[in-house]
Structure 1
């Protein structure tokens, strides 16, 4: 079998859109100057094409990619610690103080601060997963203070619960409402920003899910 040059083989698979033969130009042709004739223009294109490498490798600085790209991959339903970190962030779960400030601007780091309950996330969760995550966060709330990140996720999960409730979900929301009432009693000021959020969660459980015995006394 006759040997075929690589360039010829490539041209057979991908023929040139505008086949052009080598152009004859005057001896005074300077490729650095603007072309004056069609022949000079075509010759300049041929020279530039010949200088292009067959393979181009991009030089990427890994430091510039660090923490700038976030892949939204939800944990498995049974991964309690994974869901706590996903919803509340590794910083809050570690109960550590924020690290020292730097000049680097990595953007929003959802791994550290937690993912918000976006519709694109909660809409993929079936009822079993919603109930499991609600249990994980309720367990967290049972031992710690109320935070905005926790409040957003509890509200979103309650909004995703379907009626009639599963038995385990029924128990969970009652536990959640009681915990909200306990934390609210410990708040020193009615102007505390936690109060409206706690009131909303109690109202959802007692009114929407028909747990009337847990509702606030209207008097």
Structure 2
């Protein structure tokens, strides 16, 4: 579709000989020269640049970024069909959570939980019923604390800053104490509370976490490892559903 000219030019005079070596003397003559130059240009221009002259100034090669993300044995990666199923199930679950949050059903019907202080150690004790480090001192009451799974009635009371804080804690907990099903359950529950578009802090928390999960998966010695399935689910959700496709097993999904 041809574009309509912004300024009128007399078409009869457009093809007249133009001496490009002389400066234009009128606005119309200037516009004619512009159109004359445009007519001689290709629709697509490709610059032929010798990039070798810049190599000595390159401090980091972006093509090597994926080497940081711990490539996984292809046998450990779920099929595209399985990943699509994971994303679909997660989307349906999030829709149910949105409806519950809007109606506040769970907050009315269930007891309110007493949350710990905003401390890394206190939250670990609350979630998993044990100290983060065996050397941590616990009083007699703390020794008998029951682990707290991520109940809906609990997580629906969380505000966004707390969700991000706990995701950061989980990243630290996994580095210190390893990954297991209980930590995977908490990650799944917390990311289900996030809404797109994500904040900058949320992106940072998710990217840090998925890099760590990919590292753990790359260190598994067998596809029969019971941790492979929850790792694949979390990696798929964070990378595909939340748009971190440069860290995904298949960025085209």
Give the TM-score of the pair, scaled to structure 1. 0.56
Q: Structure 2: how far apart are the matches of 1:215 and 1:173?
A: 12
Query: Aligned match of 1:183 in 216, 222, 228?
Result: 216
RMSD across aligned positions (CA): 2.6
Q: Structure 1: how far apart are the matches of 2:127 and 2:121?
A: 10
2:103 maps to 1:90: no
Aligned twin of 1:80: 120
Deviation at 1:94, TM superposition (A): 3.2
- What count of residue pairs does the alignment treat as equivalent? 136
Query: Are the counterparts in 1 of residues 124 and 131 from structure 2 also a CA contact under 8 Å?
Result: no
Query: Are the counterparts in 1 of residues 129 and 146 from structure 2 also a CA contact under 8 Å?
Result: yes
Deviation at 1:123, TM superposition (A): 0.4
Q: Using a 3 Å threshold, how does the CA distance of structure 1 residues 161 and 131 change in structure 2: closer, same or farther?
A: same
Richer in helix (by share) = 2
**Local SS of the residue matching 2:205:** helix
> Bigger radius of gyration, 1 or 2?
1
Aligned twin of 1:103: none
Deviation at 1:142, TM superposition (A): 2.3
Query: Are the counterparts in 1 of residues 132 and 177 from structure 2 also a CA contact under 8 Å?
Result: no
Superposed, which structure 2 residues align to 1:45-194 within 5 Å?
Answer: 72-76=113-117, 78-90=118-130, 93-94=133-134, 112-194=145-227
Q: Structure 2: how far apart are the matches of 1:164 and 1:73?
A: 30
Q: Using a 3 Å threshold, how does the CA distance of structure 1 residues 111 and 218 change in structure 2: closer, same or farther?
A: farther
After superposing the two structures, state which structure 1 stretch, 149-158 or 110-119, moved more: 110-119
Query: Are the counterparts in 2 of residues 180 and 202 from structure 1 also a CA contact under 8 Å?
Result: yes
Q: Structure 1: how far apart are the matches of 2:153 and 2:133?
A: 23
Deviation at 1:153, TM superposition (A): 0.3
Give the unaligned 5+ runs of structure 2.
1-111, 137-141
Q: Using a 3 Å threshold, how does the CA distance of structure 1 residues 79 and 179 change in structure 2: closer, same or farther?
A: same
**Structure of greater relative contact order (alpha carbons < 8 Å, 6+ residues apart):** 2
Deviation at 1:217, TM superposition (A): 3.5
Q: Using a 3 Å threshold, how does the CA distance of structure 1 residues 212 and 81 change in structure 2: closer, same or farther?
A: same
Deviation at 1:113, TM superposition (A): 4.9
Deviation at 1:182, TM superposition (A): 0.6
Deviation at 1:167, TM superposition (A): 1.2
Query: Are the counterparts in 1 of residues 184 and 230 from structure 2 also a CA contact under 8 Å?
Result: yes
Give the TM-score of the pair, scaled to structure 2. 0.49
